[in-house]
Structures are given as structure tokens and as C-alpha cells.
Amino acid sequence: MNLLFFKPKERIPGERIDLVVIRKVKGNAENHFIPSVLYHIVLHDTNEVIGNCDLRIGMDEELYYAGNIGYRIHAPWRGHSYAYDASLLMMQQARDVYHMESLLITCSPDNPASKRTLQKLNGTLLETTDVPAWHWLYKRGETVKEIYRYQLI
């Protein structure tokens, strides 16, 4: 899928992929006052969209289970460590732009690809825990999460 722009978008360049800002969401009551940035993941120096990701800036009980970073790589592009590359770029943004000292990324224990990504990022596994029944992850069938912490500074 090619990415078409009506006006230039903010682009964060990497070596193999770039992040292109789709939207910045201000903190409000609906999102527990946690702002976030949504990105397209594109092949470096192209407009070929290979996935999406988001950086959630802040922490609360809901994000403890969901994490500060989320990513989705489209099926044809999986297996090339693009989620790892995107996570590194978002971690840099979290540290340098949003002044975050640490962040959490979570995965389901039955998602080996995501688990490999989180281990490759060298985080500390805090725990494997049940997701509370009130959480939106639980409501979509994700009932257990591995929670990793990443120190940014």
C-alpha cells in the first residue's frame, strides 16, 4: 500500500524503516489523559506502508497491561525485525522528545514473534500476569500479559 499525503507529515527516519506521524492525540478524559502518537511504519525512504505503531506517553493502570508501545506489522512484511526497528525509533522519541525515563511494552505469552522482539530490545521482564476483566485487552481475548520494562536514560 502506498502512502498518499495531502500535506507533508512528520517523518522519523531510521536505517531500514521510517515512522510517519499519522496523528497526535492529546490527553483527554476518554484516554485517561494519556497523549499518544500514531505512526505508519514505512520502508526507509519510500511511502510503502508495512505496518502501524503507536507511542503512549505516560502511565496509568490501563497502560500497565497495554504498554507504552504497540505495533502491528502487515503479514507480508513479518519476520524481518521491523517491529524491533520501529520500537527503537519510538524509544528514541520517548526519551528525546517526550522526556520519558522508562517505558513498558507488553506481549501475550502465546505470541512468540512479539516476545522475541521484546527480548531483543533487552528489557527486564517484570512479571507475567493476568489482565483484569475490566481491561479492553481482556475483552478482546488477551487475558495474560508479559510486562517488560525499558530504561531509557
What does the domain layout of the chain look like in residue ranges? 11-151
C-alpha R_g of the chain? 15
For cell 508495512, the residue is: 50
Determine which helix (DSSP H) or strand (DSSP E) holds 61, and give its type and residue range: helix 61-66
Helix (H, G, I), strand (E, B) or coil at 40: strand
Q: Report the predicted TM-score, pTM, of the whole model to 2 decimal places.
A: 0.91
Does residue 65 carry a pLDDT above 50? yes
CB 42 within 8 A of CB 49: yes
Give residue 6's pLDDT: 45
Give residue 28's pLDDT: 72
Give residue 2's pLDDT: 47
pLDDT in tens, 95-124: 999 999 999 999 999 999 999 999 999 999
- What is the topology classification, in CATH, of domain 11-151? Aminopeptidase (3.40.630)
- Phi–psi pair at 32, nearest 5 degrees: 60, 30
